[in-house]
């Protein structure tokens, strides 16, 4: 088994908890009095850094929301008040994609960038990568942090990083073949898109010695039917990971793949709270991930409401790590859930059912809430040899059996739905 930092990853739970508390105290001491955003919040809550002694004291710290961070940036543009140091100390700028609202700008110091790399070191080593690997990153580098951080992680584990920007999909496939790429880091959507391009152009994917795919940027690697489809197209293993620009890369899948992602507890403290009461749910129950990062002093988040729904499983894993795991990865976003005819539906649940039908190449889901009851419409794009009526009825049946819903399913012509290289947008709510 490959580890990034074995002594920490297999630490007894008690020792790990002490390490977390020690790191949190040190974060609070560093930011208190310097970071305007958090000093105000701590003062308002009457909390002093030295008040943290045990994990139970965590509940007395104030919660942070994304809208507060966005507001702090509007109040003091361009970078906001969640800054522990003067601007000159920061060396990296990134921002969130803005798919769920105003983009949030984030800054890192050389130290916190090293921390990002360490977190990604866990992601890459967790999937078994070593200095013998050649990691292909088919991405044109913009301000989105995800793949930049992957590159920093590759540097830390000494793998060969191959940047794949500035060329089209077919050129990328040839590039990977020529250079002998063993791993690719991309969105699940783009892994499927490349496989589609290979098929359209008669390119044989088995000529690339690819063994693993590491996914970032969007969910999908934890949607069973999507994962199965990627693994079958590439004859390679898929690894899921989760993170966010304002938080860090916080969880990863190990080589055992116990249907869940390990939390990097040496760098984060996670809580799973009921989204309504903000009280902890029972162990194993679904709740909202509230997370504190322990290594990003310049731009910290403390008890941050991620909006992600997770279920924590503390059972030991065969890989030897004592880090608990999110059962099934990030299950969905609290604000993504829609109600159709009284049924709570997550986009990932529909994606899983649609992708199970092999004939489907691409799809688009629209939930219209204009009518009081809600209405679910699905457009399917099929592969050229598929029989439209059979595919339509297969998907229809699956949605009805598994979700108890009637969907309006139409088959659209091949190539008419958008294709994505980065975050895909297949789910639309029509208000």
Write out the residues near Zn ion by the rule CB under 5 A: 254, 256, 317, 319, 321
The number of beta carbons lying within 10 Å of the beta carbon of residue 309 is: 20
Taking the complex as a whole, the smallest distance from the CB of residue 257 to Zn ion amounts, in Å, to 8
* Distance in angstroms (rounded) separating the CA atoms of residues 233 and 224: 14
- The DSSP 8-state label assigned to residue 63 in this structure reads P
Query: Is the distance from CB of 235 to CB of 205 less than 8 angstroms?
Result: yes
Cβ proximity to Zn ion, 268 vs 299, nearer residue: 268
Query: Is the distance from CB of 327 to CB of 87 less than 8 angstroms?
Result: no
Cβ proximity to Zn ion, 320 vs 404, nearer residue: 320
Q: How many CA within 13 A on the CB side of residue 312?
A: 23
DSSP per-residue letters across 324-363:
-EEETS--EEGGG-EEETTEEE-HHHHHHHHHTSTTEEEE
Cβ proximity to Zn ion, 121 vs 307, nearer residue: 121
Name the residue among 261, 253, 203, 257 with its Cα closest to residue 233: 203
Taking the complex as a whole, the smallest distance from the CB of residue 323 to Zn ion amounts, in Å, to 8
Taking the complex as a whole, the smallest distance from the CB of residue 202 to Zn ion amounts, in Å, to 39
Query: Is the distance from CB of 394 to CB of 357 less than 8 angstroms?
Result: yes
Collapsed DSSP state (helix, strand, coil) of residue 296? coil
Per-residue exposure over 224-256, b if at least 16 CB sit within 10 Å of its own CB, e if not: ebbbebbeebbebbbbbbbbbbbbbbbbbbbee
Largest Cα–Cα distance in the chain? 67
* Distance in angstroms (rounded) separating the CA atoms of residues 108 and 95: 11
Query: Is the distance from CB of 150 to CB of 216 less than 8 angstroms?
Result: yes
Taking the complex as a whole, the smallest distance from the CB of residue 318 to Zn ion amounts, in Å, to 6
Burial of 128 (0-12, 13-18, 19+ CB in 10 A): middle
Q: Any idea how long the chain is?
A: 431
Taking the complex as a whole, the smallest distance from the CB of residue 401 to Zn ion amounts, in Å, to 33
288 upstream amide cis, omega within 30 of 0: no
Taking the complex as a whole, the smallest distance from the CB of residue 126 to Zn ion amounts, in Å, to 8
How far is residue 283 CA from its own chain's centroid?
A: 22
Taking the complex as a whole, the smallest distance from the CB of residue 5 to Zn ion amounts, in Å, to 14
Cβ proximity to Zn ion, 3 vs 346, nearer residue: 3
Cβ proximity to Zn ion, 256 vs 278, nearer residue: 256
Collapsed DSSP state (helix, strand, coil) of residue 411? strand
Taking the complex as a whole, the smallest distance from the CB of residue 254 to Zn ion amounts, in Å, to 3
Cβ proximity to Zn ion, 228 vs 317, nearer residue: 317
Taking the complex as a whole, the smallest distance from the CB of residue 220 to Zn ion amounts, in Å, to 20
């Amino acid at each position: 088994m490959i580890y990034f930092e074995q002594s920490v990853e297999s630490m007894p739970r008690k020792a790990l908890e002490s390490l977390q508390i020690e790191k949190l105290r040190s974060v609070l001491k560093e930011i208190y009095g310097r970071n305007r955003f958090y000093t105000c919040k701590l003062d308002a809550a009457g909390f002093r850094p030295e008040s943290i002694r045990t994990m139970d004291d965590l509940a007395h710290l104030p919660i942070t929301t994304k809208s507060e961070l966005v507001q702090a940036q509007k109040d003091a543009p361009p970078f906001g008040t969640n800054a522990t140091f003067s601007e000159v100390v920061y060396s990296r700028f990134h921002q969130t994609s803005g798919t769920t609202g105003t983009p949030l700008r984030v800054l890192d110091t050389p130290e916190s960038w090293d921390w990002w790399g360490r977190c990604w070191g866990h992601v890459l080593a967790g999937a078994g990568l070593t200095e013998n690997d050649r990691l292909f990153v088919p991405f044109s580098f913009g301000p989105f942090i995800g793949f930049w951080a992957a590159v920093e992680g590759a540097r830390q584990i000494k793998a060969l990083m191959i940047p794949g920007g500035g060329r089209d999909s077919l050129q990328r496939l040839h590039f990977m073949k020529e250079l002998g790429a063993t791993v690719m880091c991309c969105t699940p959507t783009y892994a499927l898109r490349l496989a589609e391009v290979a098929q359209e152009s008669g390119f044989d994917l088995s000529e690339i010695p690819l063994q693993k795919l590491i996914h970032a940027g969007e969910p999908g690697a934890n949607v069973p039917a999507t994962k199965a489809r990627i693994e079958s197209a590439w004859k390679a293993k898929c690894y899921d990971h989760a993170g966010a620009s304002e938080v860090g890369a916080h969880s990863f899948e190990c080589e055992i793949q116990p249907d869940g992602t390990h939390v990097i507890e040496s760098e984060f403290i996670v809580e799973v709270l009921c989204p309504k009461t903000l009280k902890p749910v029972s162990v194993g129950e679904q709740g909202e991930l509230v997370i504190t990062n322990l290594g990003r002093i310049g731009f910290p988040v403390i008890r941050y409401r991620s909006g992600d729904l997770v279920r924590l499983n503390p059972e030991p894993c065969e890989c030897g790590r004592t880090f608990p795991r999110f059962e099934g990865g990030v299950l969905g976003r609290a604000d993504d859930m829609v109600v159709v005819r009284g049924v709570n539906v997550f986009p990932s649940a529909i994606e899983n059912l649609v992708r199970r039908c092999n004939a489907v190449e691409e799809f688009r889901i629209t939930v219209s809430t204009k009518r009081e009851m809600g209405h679910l419409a699905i457009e399917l794009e099929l592969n050229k040899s598929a029989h439209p009526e059979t595919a339509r009825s297969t998907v229809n049946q699956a949605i009805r059996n598994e979700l108890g819903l009637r969907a309006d399913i139409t088959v659209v012509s091949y190539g008419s739905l958008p294709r994505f290289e980065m975050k895909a947008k297949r789910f639309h709510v029509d208000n």
